[in-house]
């Protein structure tokens, strides 16, 4: 497989589909070439397959099932493991850390990954409970979970989704699961795009499998799955994300962290030069122009909010909008915009969401609060 290629398949038998994709892409050969390079560097001679430490990084931001549009389908990860184990690559782990406010252990359980652990003997590493190390990532000091230091070959399995703060989330942003929660919070104070791009100068993705089965085109936390029944493979995370951006209706370099990652030398954002190969099924990528985030974001004043907090607020506002509630109260809400984010800590104001705005006259507590809590509290506030 070449670095400018993206290989796709469409269908519904995901476990079989991914194995055929990996066969076509020649993953075994890609791993073997890396082994040879590593052995050459260490002067240790050729390594045996079972010595190669392979980590699979899905996206399990929370404990919602994959058909909700937010988390990686376990069938894909199962297919990757079957492919690897059949070729004696048996030293495999699954690594993930849920988002701030989420619980990785619950996500492992409810998303089907505990079953995979039992069935295939592949350990699950909870990055929320890992120690971390500080490292300079192209001039930016960042904290990374220690488990990454034990990885020889990283297979990233993100979900292709929209994101209410960064427009899209896929390969590059999925690496946030390999940093501690405290660092995830700090990323938001650093503007999100810059630290994501810099993080990817340190964490090297050897192979990318994109779950494009039914990711939500608007919200990272899912809820509005859009069925596409597609799985894609790539070697370049920047190209993969640039292509994802075009699928979701943006320009390849419209997404700040994609453009920055290209400038930092992580990969190429030239989606037009990508060679797209569809090996089975029918290519259908017409996405609806939903813009659900834009439709309600006028009501929000965000300063460095965490993704989980912002996403649940946007979802709650969408529910209120669908009920016709938001439009009726538009003038009042615009006057009294809802504040959210770490930038409001210690500050006063009228209406705020999350513990960071605890000093506001009206505050919805939680770190983050739930969508239901926000929905109920706002409804009550504006009804009266
Ligand atoms: S309350 Fe503040 S720290 Fe907690 S999730 Fe929300 S923005 Fe992040």
Q: Where are the alpha helices (DSSP H) in the chain?
A: 14-25, 27-42, 74-86, 104-110, 113-120, 181-189, 193-202, 237-247, 256-263, 292-297, 307-322, 325-328, 330-335, 371-383
Per-residue pLDDT at 312: 84
**Cβ(195) – ligand 1 distance below 6 Å:** no
Per-residue pLDDT at 295: 66
**Cβ(102) – ligand 1 distance below 6 Å:** no
The Cα–Cα gap between 18 and 76 comes to 6
Q: What is the pLDDT of residues 104-120, one digit of tens each?
A: 999 999 999 999 999 99
Q: Does the predicted TM-score (pTM) go above 0.85?
A: no
Which atom in ligand 1 lies closest to the alpha carbon of residue 101?
5
**353 CA → ligand 1 middle, Å:** 8
**Cβ(355) – ligand 1 distance below 6 Å:** yes
Q: Is 177 helix (H, G, I), strand (E, B) or coil?
A: helix
Per-residue pLDDT at 31: 96
**Cβ(306) – ligand 1 distance below 6 Å:** yes
Contact partners, residue 97, CB within 8 Å, separation at least 6: 104, 126, 127, 128, 130, 145, 177, 178, 179, 180, 181
8 Å CB contact between 173 and 196: yes
The Cα–Cα gap between 183 and 68 comes to 27
From-to residues of CATH 3.40.50 in the chain: 5-280
Per-residue pLDDT at 123: 98
**368 CA → ligand 1 middle, Å:** 5
**90 CA → ligand 1 middle, Å:** 39
Per-residue pLDDT at 384: 67
8 Å CB contact between 196 and 226: no
Residue 57, both tokens:
């990084």
Per-residue pLDDT at 291: 58
Phi, psi of 252 (to 5 degrees): -60, -35
Q: Identify the sign of the CA torsion 126, 129, 130, 136.
A: positive
CATH code matching the domain that covers 5-280, chosen among 3.40.50, 2.60.40, 3.30.230, 3.40.630: 3.40.50
**Cβ(308) – ligand 1 distance below 6 Å:** yes
Check whether the bond before 378 is cis (ω within 30° of 0).
no
**Cβ(342) – ligand 1 distance below 6 Å:** yes
Residue with CA closest to ligand 1 atom 8? 306
Per-residue pLDDT at 83: 98
Q: Is 327 helix (H, G, I), strand (E, B) or coil?
A: helix
| Sites in the chain below the pLDDT cut of 70 | 41-46, 282-295, 329-331, 333-334, 384
**Cβ(313) – ligand 1 distance below 6 Å:** no
The Cα–Cα gap between 330 and 326 comes to 6
Per-residue pLDDT at 299: 83
Q: What is the DSSP letter of 159?
A: B
The Cα–Cα gap between 357 and 349 comes to 8
**198 CA → ligand 1 middle, Å:** 23
């Amino acid at each position: 497989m070449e670095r400018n290629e993206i290989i796709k398949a469409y269908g519904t038998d995901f476990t079989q589909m991914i194995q055929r994709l990996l066969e076509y892409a020649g993953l075994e050969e890609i791993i073997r070439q890396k082994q040879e390079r590593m052995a050459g560097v260490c002067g240790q001679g050729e390594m045996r397959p079972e010595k190669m430490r392979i980590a699979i990084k899905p996206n399990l931001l929370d404990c919602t099932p994959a058909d909700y549009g937010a988390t990686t389908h376990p069938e894909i990860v199962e297919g990757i493991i079957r492919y690897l184990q059949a070729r004696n690559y048996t030293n495999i782990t699954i690594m993930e850390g849920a988002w701030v406010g989420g619980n990785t252990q619950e996500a492992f359980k409810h998303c089907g990954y505990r079953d995979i652990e039992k069935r295939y003997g592949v350990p699950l590493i909870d990055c929320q409970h890992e120690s971390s190390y500080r490292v300079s990532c192209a001039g930016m000091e960042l904290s990374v979970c220690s488990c990454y230091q034990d990885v020889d070959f990283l297979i990233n399995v993100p979900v292709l989704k929209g994101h209410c703060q960064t427009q899209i989330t896929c390969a590059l942003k999925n690496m946030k699961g390999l940093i501690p929660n405290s660092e995830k919070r700090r990323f938001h104070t650093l503007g999100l795009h810059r630290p994501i791009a810099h993080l990817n100068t340190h964490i090297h993705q050897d192979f990318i499998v994109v779950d494009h089965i039914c990711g939500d085109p608007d919200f990272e936390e899912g809820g509005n799955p859009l069925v596409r029944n597609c799985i894609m493979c790539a070697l370049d995370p920047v190209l993969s994300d640039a292509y994802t951006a075009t699928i979701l209706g943006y320009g390849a370099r419209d997404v700040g962290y994609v453009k920055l990652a290209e400038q930092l030398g992580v990969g190429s954002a030239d989606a037009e030069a990508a060679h797209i190969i569809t090996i089975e099924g029918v290519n259908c990528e017409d996405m609806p122009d939903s813009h659900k985030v834009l439709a309600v974001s006028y009501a929000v004043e965000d300063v460095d909010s965490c993704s989980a907090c912002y996403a649940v607020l946007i979802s709650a506002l969408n529910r209120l909008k669908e009920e016709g509630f938001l439009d009726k109260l538009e003038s009042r809400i615009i006057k009294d915009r809802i504040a959210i984010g770490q930038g409001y800590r210690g500050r006063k104001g009228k209406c705020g969401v999350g513990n960071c705005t605890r000093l506001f006259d009206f505050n919805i507590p939680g770190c983050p609060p739930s969508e239901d809590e926000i929905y109920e509290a706002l409804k009550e506030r504006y009804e009266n």
